[in-house]
Structure 1
Amino acid sequence: MTIKRVILVTLTVLAVFLMGQDLLNSWNQPQIQSRLELYQTNLLLRSTEFRSSDMNTDAARKALLGAEPTKNALEQYEDVQQQVQKTLKQTQSLLASGSSNKAQPVSLEQTERKLTRLVTELDLKLGILRSQQGETTLAQKEWDKVIQQAEVDSGLNPLAVTAEVLKGLWAKSPQLLPDAEPQIQKNLDGWFRDRALTQLYTLQQRSADLQALQLSEQQAAEKALTSLAIVGGIPVLSGVIGIGILIFAIGQWVVQRKQALLSAETLQPWTTPWDGETIWQVLILGFFMVGQIALPIFLAVLQRATGLNPASFGEQGKALFILFNYVLLAAGGLGVLYWSVKSYLPLPEDWFRIRLKGNWFWWGLGGYFAALPLVVVVSLVNQKIWQGRGGSNPILPIALEGKNSFALAIFFVTAAIAAPIFEEILFRGFLLPSLTRYFPVWGAIVLSSFLFAVAHLSLSEVLPLMTLGMVLGFVYSRSRNLLSSMLLHSLWNSGTLLSLIVLGSGQG
């Protein structure tokens, strides 16, 4: 065995170990999907406050929200609460047994604290939902749980004080605490805050404040309906188009078989001038070593030299740091790729092809529509498997909670421009064609998609991302133009980011 192979084997073992750690850590992290569902539920609750004298408009609102939106919201919150409680118990069990990831015990403890606070916040809101359903006794029990939890964790005292306020508002003999309104304003938001303030103003007979609140509710409800139309309407319409494309493609395959778009026989392999060792080298050195070893070491040295701590950055700082991190990753990966294949230059014509002419735009757009229903179905199955666990891309929660326009613009540049360019060059431009030296094109698409999904280091995202990767691979294999898969990738990331921004801006 050559020295080069010894080095590659050593780095491979190290990369697999580090990736395994990251995937194991993601097992104990909650998915963002549960939070997205709650954010959408909050928009639905907000929309219930909309009132219109136009019967058609009111009928459309009721059709969008359903017959019993508050009851449906209560069930949604209960489901999420059960998922979070289950994850919290498993996290606490790992901490108690000492069998957690000893390399990052602080991370697990932080997860426990976040989950404990989330459960407490859910209890607080569940009480308000139950009060609106007339379940006052059960509401009081929810708020009692918040108070009891604060006795164990002093960090939850502000929530406990708010729970005391709510208990007094909905007691059989109402009791108004002197700081009721500030507590409600501080620790509740959106529909939940308005319901508590409505109860408070009604008991205090503050008709002017009640009227002003109702006016602000109407304005917020109109905004929420618009947000729901964007978040729900655009994906639904795109999904319908995608289902139509899939039905056409499957029907064509049934009729034409070998000449159909989906026929494996029409997918031609690439002429690959290098062997498996070069593929191995690019993956290990260009992606995993750069991302898992070199970049973390470089950032740690830079942090020590400058004294800057990314954890203390504001929204703009975090956004710029994420972009800086990704640019370094891409530069390192593409540098290794060029170094690995430069001895084979010039490459055959269909390698890394980027051409403005041709039908690449329609392949990318059609692939985006077709990917939507496929990934949605896989994601629904995936949710049943992971039950709210498995982690998520760390950029998603930041974008969801982001309020800074500059930071959101930087996130967009990272997700919709930088990521599609780098990942498509590496996974579709290099890896997929290289694998056709050893596998049929469909096999190369599947294997490259699996590695693409695993590289995102979140267990819960492996199946959905692998499905997306297969569509990306198919589109690139048919179009032979990287612009098609880059467009599809960019549309996908842009759509996800837009949904997060709309959902996040609709809260409060």
Structure 2
Amino acid sequence: MRAAPAAAAQGAQGQNRAITFPPQDASLNARGSRTPAWKSLLALLCLLITGLLWLNGLLLSLEKPTVTGALDQRQLELRALAMPAAPPSLQPLLTGVDPLEELRQSLLAQDDADPGPGQGEPLLQLALLQQRQGQDIKASQLRDRLQEQIPSDQRALVTALERGQRLERSQLDTLQQPWSLRPLTQRLLCEGLSQDPQGCGTSGAAQQAVWRLVGVSWAPGLLLLLGVGLLLRQIWQQWRGQAPAAPRLEGPPLDLVDVTLLIAGGFVVLGELTVPLLLSPALGALLSPLNGEPALQQGLQVLLLYLGLMLAPLTILWAQMRGRASEHMGEGEPTGGLQWHWRPFGSSALQALQVMLMLLPMVALVGWITDRIAGDQGGSNPLLELVLTTGQPLALACFALTAVLLAPLFEETLFRGVLLPVLGQRVGPGLAVLLSALIFAAAHLSLNELAPLMVLGLGLGWLRLRSGRLGSCVLVHALWNGFTFANLLLLAG
């Protein structure tokens, strides 16, 4: 799922309180004293390392595989699987006229683009679809390729296809056991090998596919329309001067050197670079008893590595905040904070839901523009592919905990809780939102998704300014990731 911008409204008219900060000497820290030279040099070194790492990561992202093709193929499979159970009057709108032919053409295009050995199940699907179209020679060639690359326990199924055998359902189930095939492939095999091919498309899988297809196609469309309405309403209120006044932008009493050490030093150098080098071997040994459950092993590894990544920057932030609080103790000065403001929770949740819906229509627009200009350059979040291909419930729970809870809490703490207000003290709130969104987008190391992620950061930054509540930003981020996660689960089945 791509990110999208919210309607970044400017400050409300006359009745809104201006968010202003006094000019500050760049060499002074939050206390008004000069930052030690060693601290500035350390921050500069961390910044240079971060710049090199991020630039290299963004460029390398163009060479990484993209999940877009897999998502499109899964949606085609879902449409083909749902077609036998879809009401005839709704088939043109819900499933299309001939989704199996569309899937065949898509698989052919992928095979032509990458004429290597190929993957087992896509090749099997293509062989079955070619056989359905009467392309016997091409189907035979695909089966030969399959026989050369698949394990020996999977070859009996391909041999049965080559011989054109008609099998009882129990025999067919036995041949499929080594494969772990998706529902559509199972249906195609049933039609090609079963003694009763007429009953292959009326199973419960087709009925479930109809509801899943509604969930991934019609439901987002309705939410997009609702989001457009909310977005227009927000723009109208802003134009008429009816939007609530923006609260004063507050944040932790840190300076730019502190924030550089936190994000460049703690998040990147320690969290992204050092922690995986130190933690991965230990996790490999710790999780070795789960070698027989590779999906669960991978899910736990993702979760534990992310917890390790969070540890260094959050520890640094805690130490910085504690130090500032002790310096101001007894002086009667406000020490600032992260401004979570969760209460009343219902108000935060409703505000977050509205902003998330306003972001949705912009997702489609930004995604469309990005694809038209640059095409699909690869570099998708690897977690998307893991969710799409994993059927292990505990592994999915680990991925969900990482994406829907930990990532929103951690990223919003850094980028909207600390970076944005500290930048606001130096450059003003508008430019602070822009810069924090750019850094947030670059941190995801995906050049293809840089613009969508940046506008998501703009929307979250706008919410931080307009509401003064970091908690609402966390909820928007969690809803966003949760919406993406739910769509992947529906596609994967």
**TM-score (norm. length: structure 2):** 0.78
Deviation at 1:247, TM superposition (A): 1.9
485-494 or 348-357, larger mean C-alpha shift: 348-357
Deviation at 1:489, TM superposition (A): 0.9
Matched, 1:294 2:274: yes
Of residues 188, 192, 195, the one that matches 1:199 is 192
Deviations 1:270-289 (Å, cap 9, x if unpaired)? 47744321221111122112
Matched, 1:436 2:424: yes
Whichever residue aligns with residue 414 of structure 1, its letter is: T
Query: Aligned partners of 1:441 and 1:412: how far apart in 2?
Result: 33
Q: Contact 2:212–2:490 (CA<8 Å) still a contact in 1?
A: yes
Query: Aligned partners of 1:378 and 1:75: how far apart in 2?
Result: 27
Match of 1:405 in 2: 393
Whichever residue aligns with residue 352 of structure 1, its letter is: Q
Deviation at 1:155, TM superposition (A): 5.7
Match of 1:233 in 2: 218
Query: Aligned partners of 1:304 and 1:227: how far apart in 2?
Result: 36
Query: Aligned partners of 1:446 and 1:150: how far apart in 2?
Result: 55
Whichever residue aligns with residue 77 of structure 2, its letter is: N
Whichever residue aligns with residue 45 of structure 1, its letter is: A
Q: Contact 2:380–2:449 (CA<8 Å) still a contact in 1?
A: yes
Query: Aligned partners of 2:284 and 2:398: how far apart in 1?
Result: 25
Deviations 1:29-69 (Å, cap 9, x if unpaired)? 22112211211111100011227xxxxx4323443112333
Of residues 320, 323, 333, the one that matches 1:340 is 320
Deviations 1:145-192 (Å, cap 9, x if unpaired)? 5646977xx5689999877765665xxxxx889xx9566775564323
Structure 1 runs not aligned, ≥5 long:
52-56, 90-114, 170-174
Of residues 366, 373, 377, the one that matches 2:361 is 373
Deviation at 1:295, TM superposition (A): 0.8
Match of 1:281 in 2: 261
Change in Cα spacing, 1:76 to 1:437, as seen in structure 2 (3 Å) is farther
Match of 2:51 in 1: 16
Query: Aligned partners of 1:418 and 1:402: how far apart in 2?
Result: 20
Deviation at 1:436, TM superposition (A): 1.0
Q: What is the SS of the residue equivalent to 1:431?
A: helix
CA-atom RMSD in angstroms: 3.6
Deviation at 1:438, TM superposition (A): 2.8
Q: What is the SS of the residue equivalent to 2:200?
A: helix
Match of 1:110 in 2: none
Change in Cα spacing, 1:168 to 1:403, as seen in structure 2 (3 Å) is same
Of residues 102, 110, 115, the one that matches 1:72 is 102
Q: Contact 2:74–2:491 (CA<8 Å) still a contact in 1?
A: yes
Structure 2 runs not aligned, ≥5 long:
1-35, 329-333
**TM-score (norm. length: structure 1):** 0.76
Q: Contact 1:363–1:475 (CA<8 Å) still a contact in 2?
A: no
Deviation at 1:244, TM superposition (A): 0.8
Change in Cα spacing, 1:267 to 1:122, as seen in structure 2 (3 Å) is farther
Deviations 1:388-422 (Å, cap 9, x if unpaired)? 44222222222222222222223222221111111
Give matches, 1:65-464, under 5 Å.
65-78=95-108, 80=110, 85=113, 116-118=117-119, 121-132=121-132, 134=133, 136-137=134-135, 140-141=137-138, 143-144=140-141, 147=144, 154=149, 169=164, 189-201=182-194, 206-207=195-196, 210=197, 213-214=200-201, 217-253=202-238, 255-256=239-240, 259=241, 261=243, 269-270=249-250, 273-300=253-280, 302-303=282-283, 308=288, 314-345=294-325, 347=334, 351-357=338-344, 359-384=347-372, 387-464=375-452
Q: Contact 2:408–2:478 (CA<8 Å) still a contact in 1?
A: yes
Change in Cα spacing, 1:66 to 1:303, as seen in structure 2 (3 Å) is closer
Query: Aligned partners of 1:58 and 1:419: how far apart in 2?
Result: 43
Whichever residue aligns with residue 199 of structure 1, its letter is: G
Change in Cα spacing, 1:362 to 1:213, as seen in structure 2 (3 Å) is closer
Deviation at 1:428, TM superposition (A): 0.7
Of residues 480, 489, 496, the one that matches 2:484 is 496
Query: Aligned partners of 2:405 and 2:305: how far apart in 1?
Result: 14
Change in Cα spacing, 1:279 to 1:142, as seen in structure 2 (3 Å) is farther
Whichever residue aligns with residue 357 of structure 2, its letter is: F
Q: Contact 1:123–1:143 (CA<8 Å) still a contact in 2?
A: no
Deviation at 1:311, TM superposition (A): 7.9
Q: Contact 1:143–1:164 (CA<8 Å) still a contact in 2?
A: no
Which structure has the higher relative contact order (CA within 8 Å, separation 6+)? Answer: 2
Change in Cα spacing, 1:184 to 1:272, as seen in structure 2 (3 Å) is closer
Q: Contact 2:420–2:432 (CA<8 Å) still a contact in 1?
A: yes
Q: Higher helix share goes to which structure?
A: 1
Change in Cα spacing, 1:304 to 1:423, as seen in structure 2 (3 Å) is closer
Query: Aligned partners of 1:220 and 1:20: how far apart in 2?
Result: 46
Query: Aligned partners of 2:232 and 2:348: how far apart in 1?
Result: 21
Q: What is the SS of the residue equivalent to 1:352?
A: coil
Identity of aligned residues (%): 25
Query: Aligned partners of 1:307 and 1:356: how far apart in 2?
Result: 40
Alignment length (residue pairs): 446
Q: Contact 1:77–1:126 (CA<8 Å) still a contact in 2?
A: yes
Deviation at 1:452, TM superposition (A): 1.4
Q: What is the SS of the residue equivalent to 1:117?
A: coil
Deviation at 1:269, TM superposition (A): 4.5
Matched, 1:59 2:39: no
Deviation at 1:366, TM superposition (A): 0.7
Q: Contact 2:253–2:337 (CA<8 Å) still a contact in 1?
A: no
Q: Contact 2:61–2:379 (CA<8 Å) still a contact in 1?
A: yes
Match of 1:98 in 2: none
Query: Aligned partners of 1:19 and 1:276: how far apart in 2?
Result: 19
Of residues 72, 96, 99, the one that matches 1:37 is 72
